[in-house]
Structure 1
Amino acid sequence: MTEKIENNAGKPEPNGAAGVCQQESLQGQRSIDDSLFKSTRQIIIAAAKPKKRYHFAQMALAGMIVFLAGFVFIQLKKHNSDTARPVQVSAQPDQRLRTPLMPANNGSFQQEAMDSLDATQILTSISIDPQDAKILDKAVSLQRAQFLYQREDYEKAYYVYDKLRVNVTGKGLKQQCLRDWLGLQMALALQKTDDQTLMGQLFTEALQSRSLVVRAMASYHLAFIQNRHQQFFESRNRAYQALALLKSFEKQMPATMEADCYFIAAESLTRQVLKMNDLNDTLPRASWSDSMEPYSLPISDQAQLSELLMAGMEKMDDAALMPKVDFFPNRKVGAQWSVLCRDVPLEQLFWGFASEADLGVSWGSEYSNQRTRPITVFLPFVDRLYLAEVISANAGLIWQYDGQKGVIYDPASYRDFSDFQQVLVKEAISMWQRFLLRYRNDPRMPNAQFCLGRLYAIMDEAPMALGSYKLLTTRFEGHDLVPYALLDVGAIKTRMKDYAGARADLNELLIRYPDCMVADEALLNLAETTRISGLYQEAARFYEQIFRLNINDESRRTALLGLGQCAFESADHQAAVKWFSQAIQTIPGKSDDRLGPAYLMAGRSFIELKQYEKAAAAFRMALGSLLDRHEYVQVVLELVQAECGQENYLQALTILENIPEENLNQEDSCWILVAKTKIYRAIDLPETAITLLRQRVEFIADASLRAKLVLELVECYVLNDDLRVAQKELNEAIYDLPFGYDTQRGGYLLAKIAYQQGRYDKAQTLCLGTLRTQIEDESLRTEVSELLGKIYMKQADYDNAALAFAGALDQDTLP
């Protein structure tokens, strides 16, 4: 018969609670110690009192009495001292649930012996005043425990639940299930405290309960707890374990509980995918599982609770010896399969079910230690694919079905990390799609569409991502996630180089939701997109608006850098120096990876202003910041240019010679060589430059890179007046030059060679052809125009010569 849960005050304590560890007052301890000391002293005096005659046996007996009295005194003193000492237990939030709640490799749980958790251990695990404990002992009831828990007085709630648990003394199945449920309530109270070890032990016991309801509720609550502590794989696993047993008592629970479990499983996997792709795993707004309040069992009285905890047990007895797999062809599609089993090895259950359901199944990896993991399932009248999904995920595995066969993947064992990521992303997408199909009226459908958008973006499936976001923004226009969706749409279109579309979406966000939390970020993205589009003046206005808003230090810093970029691209180098200088002052330290590029752009601005000394100083500061290999080479080359601008050629060569070229790739090494040859040409040593280039050019495998070195070699030959060799080399290399600046420069050099050879008509044709290619580099256009002016002077065409020297020849006025 079920024992009544009632106040046990005034009755003898059970043996397990005889040593309740309450801190006694100092005065009480002193009185105990004094009386014990007096008793011991009397024994010692009586034993040691001199007598006229005594036997050897009497002496031995007296000595033994003295020894035993001293030993008893020391042990009692030590016990009182230990029980009076408060136990300090602490745990960081992200370290919770590190106890072994997961099954071991052999499929059995690492279970602590809960029988050893007597009252002494329990009371030392929490902080409760002895006076409060005496008061609570007078009114121990389930209603009191629930009231204390709801009032967030978790230590006292834990204490009362433990007292109730001790009061259930029967050995029947109902009593054991009731004790398991009370242990679960104790664990839930402990999650709000610092004792995570004891909490883990209590949860482990609940997960092994004979009651399907206790197991399901333990998994259900753990799914929320582990998701909150960023243990996403474990959270998904627990959610599916709850789904595997939920149908045993779903009539007593809210209808949305199944959807909640599936939602948290999909959300946990999504956040794991975001985390593995180095993205922020915190989903925006508060409409996610961490804002949901988990359900509790409906309790009216002890008899009703006991019956509820026994739900499904009778049917589960039919599967006591072997899994019970049934097919009901007369039922509607999607509810024809039933599986009941308790602690059956996963592989045995899966192959038995798969053979009955005619499902082709294979393992994604040759070995998985989860194959023998014990699985408990209570799933009557469901779809066969849902069964396969829940059975697999119950063990932390992933089931994927392509319409013909299914594959089981184990997240704990994979060979290729990128393939593993693809499996997880595909599964997360499938889970949200299934959520949308199964729970069509769920208010979290916008959340599902939002996650699908982010997951498709990770898969680089931009059209699918934009489609999901489009559904969200049109069907759920007033939802809190719409501004975040528009922000993501702008980012996707920017990556697609659809700058006009990105600007339109970001403008829509700012117009429709001016007060949303991401409005500032949207304005910044709009400024960045506008700058990338080449609309520098418009972008500068957006950056100035962000700068004036003074949202935070980071936004001001980004705005200053953006203003500097816009000014530099607009050739307003004085303004660029001002903005970059202010940005550098706001960057917190050398560890910031934006410091080097900021100094680099400031140095380039100084070069354009012909302030080479300041440019060199800026480039040296850039070298002292965090730079990757390519950025380092770029800064060094810019520094060399600044030194050459001051005619410090020896210093420039010294800088280049000190670069460890063995750490550079072939392309960067070639640019260092080009910089050296330009210096040798500048100091009228073309022969040295020719020697260096000849030694290197024949070992360059890349045709394009080799052709660029030949251009430098041709410059040296022209300077050395070796025109025939220069023409021959250039004619062979010009077809390997990349289209654009390099081919335009090649055309200019051919015209220059023809001019120096006296072939003015050929030189004129080459110059005009080069100008018609719309030269974007200002210095090269000037060189070509000046050469063309010289050619016209030789031809006595002074009008066109004047136009050429003035740079007035354009696409419309070219002869």
Structure 2
Amino acid sequence: MATENENPFDKASQAPADSDLFAGDIRPDVTARDLFSGDDNLFKVLEGSNRPRLLTQAAITASRTGQWFTLTHIILTLNILAISGILIYFLIRPNLAPVTIIQQASEQPTRQANALPEPTLPAAEAQSLEPSISWKLANQLYQSGKYDRAAFVYRRLSDNLVPGIPADEWLRDLLALRIAECLIQTDDSGNAGRLFTQALQSRSIVVRALAHYSLAFIEFRNERYLTARQHAYQTLALGRLFEEVFSPKFESDCYFLQAEAMTREILLLNNRPTDLPGSLWTDQILPEEFPSLDQTQLKAFLQNGQSLLADGILNPQIRRHSDSPVGSQWYSEALEAPFVEWVNRFATEARLNVGWASQTEQVRSRPICLLVPGTSEQGLAEIAAGSAGLIAEYAAEGLTIRNPSTYDNLNDHRQTLTRETLFVWRRFLLRNPGDHRCPNAHYAMGLLQETLGESVAALGEYKLMASQYAFNPLTPYALLNSSRIKTGLQDYTGARNDLTELIVQYPECKLIDQASLELAHATARTGRYNEALMMFRKVYNLDLNKESRRDAAYGAADCYERLNQPAEAKKWFIQAIRLTPDLSDHRIYTAYLNLGKALIALKDYDQAAVALRQAFQGPLTTEEFVETVLQLTEAQTRQERFVPALNLLENIPDEKLTQDQSCRVLIARTTILREIDLSDTALSLLHRKLEFVNDPQLRGRLTVEIAKCNIELGELARAQKNLSDALVSLTPGFHARQASLLLIDTTQQLGQYDQAKLLCLQFLNQTSGDLPEYKQGLSLLGQIYTHLKEHDKAALAFVGVYDKSSPIGAGS
């Protein structure tokens, strides 16, 4: 049974042992017949193949024919001779091949060094520089302002670099940056832009940072302030790379630049001058000089940062070290990371909500490079957003990202930028408490507070400068700005104090003439015209510059006008007009108007009309236009040119006038109507207008005109009542004094001399002796005494003496 179940492959799988195969003696005479099976023909072939073949088929053929030198040998020999001849030619030919090779290599587009532009120098000058080509020489030429020579040396240095080697490629990018800086200085912006782009795209993060640093200053000087701000932040984001190479003020310079750039951008948005006074501003300082390094140090410097940014290559890294001091707990590394990805990670780490103020996806995805060690949470967000050209604004609801280049509401946009810039300046002061530019920061903050309308805060900044930085060149400007703010607040005494301090403390300051003018204006606004007049005349006589002399002439003319000295006012207005060659200056047309008034007071009506017509040539406001028309009407009326005067008044659109202006035009018309014996028409117009006027002052003035019409019509009693009613409505002043004089004269004409005397004495006791109405009152008093037969008192009154002990009644 066991035999039947036996597997036939079991025995086949059992291989014989080595001892069974190789047992016995080895036969040395083994033949083919012992190894192979076959017929006789097979064995003959096998025996023939075992013989050694010592000759090739060609040799066999040759041996058979008896010829050893065949065609093959001839061909091989000729080839050997040809190759030997070529080698001998290259060895003994003239030494021109290297030049040809270099020229051919220079035409190859794959060599990056040749992509740099070739500066043009005179042949002799270029030849003199060739033997001493070096990095040190190039930097020396650049620092001495010989930019064309420096660019030539930088270009020659690039010829020695080998393409494909990372260290040489970084050096090539650095040389491109240095050549670009030279070309900018020589106004070759076309090639410079291409080279800056090459530097910004360099694989060396150090070269990129250096390019951002250089472009920050260039864009600032080109008044592209937002672009300069972004480059400054991009430099700050990589500032750690320069800690051991540049001076400690490198970081503060970049931060100051971006803060000043934002300040000037805000001044532009508010239509204010962007030229800042004093010194130490960014446009007056030079960037850091490139460090003096040899080639080994330079390559190591350019490689710096590659390892530091290794963690941020794939994804931006954000860490918070709670054990670090407050203000230096946040770290971040990022390489070409989209800003939106970075800010999302940051918000998660900081547990903040992030809002975007209408930003497009392209703006949100702007790439940023960061290497920020040990800063605050707000500082890290500020630098990252600034690197993307954006603003990170902290609020109670979280973090809001804004784009300073776009806005929907201009007022909100200006306020947002101003708040952000004030925050940046405060951060600068906290980081750099001993910086020599702290006064500049306070001055800039004062300007920004002014744009926000925060006058008190602005005054605080300017006063801080006056108290803590008394010897800084900006302090006089701070005092001048402070005086202007106080003038706007109608604090003329405070303005005079600031200006007096400026003039006394800084007599050599360039602002002395401007400060003296401001002081004169402030003094005039307090009503001290004689004192202001002396100041204006002093500035005029100093003749420091044309502008100050012109302003002084205008100020003096205004003071003489207010002092009611038309002759002097006429002289100074003419002088001011002569000193104003620019017809776009609005003051010249106001001067023509005031000159016309002075000429009317001097009864020179022809010249007054000429001056007033000149005033019409300028862009007058509605108030100035009405005033000019009224003055020209008066001049024509005095010339008895009534019809042109009436036509002039009729052409004024009444619907565009205020109620005060409308009443003044009506009074001018009724005055002309009375002159041409149309007092009843004038009276009708006045009564019709009076029904629609509620203002007491205007009603009083119209009532006085009604009284004048009644006097012309012989209705003296009605005129007396009209004038009594008018004095109840009018406040003390010019119109009340005119009404009082008219009432005294009307009462006298009615024969009521005792009452007229009482009214006249009351008027004189309440009127200043400097006013022209005072003399008119004395004349009326003399007439009244004459009618009362009191000739002694009449004589005294005519010479300006009267009994002041008389009782005083109601004021006029």
Same fold per superposition (TM over 0.5): yes
Residue by residue over 1:83-131, the C-alpha shift from the partner in whole angstroms, topping out at 9 and shown as x without a partner, is xxxxxxxxxxxxxxxxxxxxxxxxxxxxxxx9899858823xx542244
Q: Helix, strand or coil: the match of 1:653?
A: helix
Structure 1 residue 356, shift from structure 2 partner: 1.5
Structure 1 position 507 matched with structure 2 position 500: yes
> What percent identity do the matched residue pairs reach?
37
> 1:525 aligns to what?
518
Q: Helix, strand or coil: the match of 2:633?
A: helix
Structure 1 position 122 matched with structure 2 position 120: no
Structure 1 position 209 matched with structure 2 position 298: no
Superposition pairs of residues 565-714 of structure 1, within 5 angstroms: 565-659=558-652, 668-690=661-683, 692=685, 707=699, 711=703, 714=706
> 1:451 aligns to what?
444
Q: Tell me the distance in 2 between the aligned counterparts of 1:786 and 1:367.
A: 83
Residue by residue over 1:631-679, the C-alpha shift from the partner in whole angstroms, topping out at 9 and shown as x without a partner, is 2222221111222233332232132234466766666455434422332
> 1:435 aligns to what?
428
Residue by residue over 1:761-808, the C-alpha shift from the partner in whole angstroms, topping out at 9 and shown as x without a partner, is 999999999999979996778899999999999999999999999797
Structure 1 position 159 matched with structure 2 position 152: yes
Structure 1 residue 492, shift from structure 2 partner: 2.6
> 2:5 aligns to what?
none
Residue by residue over 1:279-331, the C-alpha shift from the partner in whole angstroms, topping out at 9 and shown as x without a partner, is 33222233222222211342422221122122222232212222111111111
Q: Helix, strand or coil: the match of 2:414?
A: helix
Superposition pairs of residues 30-109 of structure 1, within 5 angstroms: none
> 2:65 aligns to what?
none
> 2:77 aligns to what?
none
Q: Helix, strand or coil: the match of 2:244?
A: helix
Structure 1 residue 263, shift from structure 2 partner: 0.9
Q: Tell me the distance in 2 between the aligned counterparts of 1:761 and 1:329.
A: 98
* Conservation of the 8 A alpha-carbon contact between 1:453 and 1:464: yes
The answer to which of 221-230 and 498-507 deviates more is 498-507
Structure 1 residue 349, shift from structure 2 partner: 1.9
Structure 1 residue 188, shift from structure 2 partner: 0.8
> 1:545 aligns to what?
538
Residue by residue over 1:248-297, the C-alpha shift from the partner in whole angstroms, topping out at 9 and shown as x without a partner, is 33233211111111111111222222333333322223322222221134
Q: Tell me the distance in 1 between the aligned counterparts of 2:305 and 2:578.
A: 69
* Conservation of the 8 A alpha-carbon contact between 1:690 and 1:716: no
Structure 1 residue 155, shift from structure 2 partner: 1.6
* Conservation of the 8 A alpha-carbon contact between 2:716 and 2:746: yes
Q: Provide closer, same or farther for how the CA distance between residues 789 and 368 of structure 1 changes in structure 2, counting only shifts above 3 A.
A: farther
Q: Provide closer, same or farther for how the CA distance between residues 741 and 370 of structure 1 changes in structure 2, counting only shifts above 3 A.
A: farther
Structure 1 position 814 matched with structure 2 position 793: no
Structure 1 position 18 matched with structure 2 position 107: yes
Structure 1 residue 738, shift from structure 2 partner: 8.4
Q: Helix, strand or coil: the match of 2:421?
A: helix
> 2:178 aligns to what?
185
> 1:491 aligns to what?
484
Q: Helix, strand or coil: the match of 2:520?
A: helix
Structure 1 residue 190, shift from structure 2 partner: 0.9
Structure 1 residue 385, shift from structure 2 partner: 0.5
Q: Helix, strand or coil: the match of 1:647?
A: coil
Structure 1 position 413 matched with structure 2 position 406: yes
What TM-score do you get using the length of structure 2 for normalisation? 0.76
Structure 1 residue 755, shift from structure 2 partner: 10
* Conservation of the 8 A alpha-carbon contact between 2:785 and 2:794: yes
* Conservation of the 8 A alpha-carbon contact between 1:177 and 1:309: yes
Q: Helix, strand or coil: the match of 1:278?
A: coil
> 2:455 aligns to what?
462
Q: Helix, strand or coil: the match of 1:440?
A: coil
> 1:562 aligns to what?
555
Q: Tell me the distance in 1 between the aligned counterparts of 2:154 and 2:344.
A: 42
Structure 1 residue 692, shift from structure 2 partner: 4.7
Q: Helix, strand or coil: the match of 2:384?
A: helix
> 2:289 aligns to what?
296
Superposition pairs of residues 797-808 of structure 1, within 5 angstroms: none
The answer to which of 194-203 and 173-182 deviates more is 173-182
Structure 1 position 351 matched with structure 2 position 344: yes
Q: 2:415 aligns with which of 417, 422, 425?
A: 422
Q: Helix, strand or coil: the match of 1:381?
A: strand
Q: Tell me the distance in 1 between the aligned counterparts of 2:211 and 2:631.
A: 64
Q: Tell me the distance in 1 between the aligned counterparts of 2:706 and 2:537.
A: 47
Q: Tell me the distance in 2 between the aligned counterparts of 1:454 and 1:773.
A: 48
Q: 1:384 aligns with which of 377, 381, 384?
A: 377
Q: Tell me the distance in 2 between the aligned counterparts of 1:742 and 1:536.
A: 22
The answer to which of 751-760 and 647-656 deviates more is 751-760
Structure 1 position 271 matched with structure 2 position 360: no
Residue by residue over 1:591-636, the C-alpha shift from the partner in whole angstroms, topping out at 9 and shown as x without a partner, is 3322112222222222222333332222222223443333222222
Q: Helix, strand or coil: the match of 2:369?
A: strand
> 2:394 aligns to what?
401
Q: Tell me the distance in 2 between the aligned counterparts of 1:115 and 1:401.
A: 50
AA aligned to 1:429 is L
* Conservation of the 8 A alpha-carbon contact between 1:592 and 1:626: no
Structure 1 residue 699, shift from structure 2 partner: 7.4
AA aligned to 2:331 is S
AA aligned to 1:122 is P
Residue by residue over 1:325-366, the C-alpha shift from the partner in whole angstroms, topping out at 9 and shown as x without a partner, is 111111111111112112222233223212321234433446
Q: Provide closer, same or farther for how the CA distance between residues 770 and 327 of structure 1 changes in structure 2, counting only shifts above 3 A.
A: farther
AA aligned to 1:452 is M
The answer to which of 376-385 and 546-555 deviates more is 546-555
> 2:214 aligns to what?
221
AA aligned to 1:561 is Y
* Conservation of the 8 A alpha-carbon contact between 1:703 and 1:736: no
* Conservation of the 8 A alpha-carbon contact between 2:359 and 2:403: no
Q: Tell me the distance in 1 between the aligned counterparts of 2:163 and 2:336.
A: 25
Q: Tell me the distance in 2 between the aligned counterparts of 1:404 and 1:777.
A: 67
* Conservation of the 8 A alpha-carbon contact between 1:274 and 1:281: yes
Q: Provide closer, same or farther for how the CA distance between residues 743 and 547 of structure 1 changes in structure 2, counting only shifts above 3 A.
A: closer
Q: Provide closer, same or farther for how the CA distance between residues 807 and 619 of structure 1 changes in structure 2, counting only shifts above 3 A.
A: farther
Q: Tell me the distance in 1 between the aligned counterparts of 2:362 and 2:734.
A: 60
RMSD: 4.2
The gaps in structure 1 that reach 5 residues or longer are: 1-8, 20-113
The answer to which of 142-151 and 181-190 deviates more is 142-151
The answer to which of 553-562 and 713-722 deviates more is 713-722
Q: Provide closer, same or farther for how the CA distance between residues 394 and 728 of structure 1 changes in structure 2, counting only shifts above 3 A.
A: farther
Residue by residue over 1:144-179, the C-alpha shift from the partner in whole angstroms, topping out at 9 and shown as x without a partner, is 322221232212221222233343233244333222
Q: Tell me the distance in 1 between the aligned counterparts of 2:753 and 2:256.
A: 78
Q: Helix, strand or coil: the match of 2:348?
A: helix
AA aligned to 1:303 is T
Q: Tell me the distance in 1 between the aligned counterparts of 2:516 and 2:536.
A: 9
* Conservation of the 8 A alpha-carbon contact between 1:145 and 1:157: yes
Q: Tell me the distance in 2 between the aligned counterparts of 1:362 and 1:775.
A: 69
* Conservation of the 8 A alpha-carbon contact between 1:388 and 1:399: yes
Q: 1:321 aligns with which of 306, 310, 314?
A: 314
Q: Helix, strand or coil: the match of 2:117?
A: helix
What TM-score do you get using the length of structure 1 for normalisation? 0.76
Q: Tell me the distance in 1 between the aligned counterparts of 2:421 and 2:675.
A: 62
> 2:326 aligns to what?
333
> 1:78 aligns to what?
none
Structure 1 residue 440, shift from structure 2 partner: 0.9
Q: Tell me the distance in 1 between the aligned counterparts of 2:692 and 2:740.
A: 25
> 2:250 aligns to what?
257
> 2:241 aligns to what?
248
Q: Helix, strand or coil: the match of 1:516?
A: coil
> 1:472 aligns to what?
465
Q: Provide closer, same or farther for how the CA distance between residues 396 and 242 of structure 1 changes in structure 2, counting only shifts above 3 A.
A: same
AA aligned to 1:18 is E
AA aligned to 1:649 is F
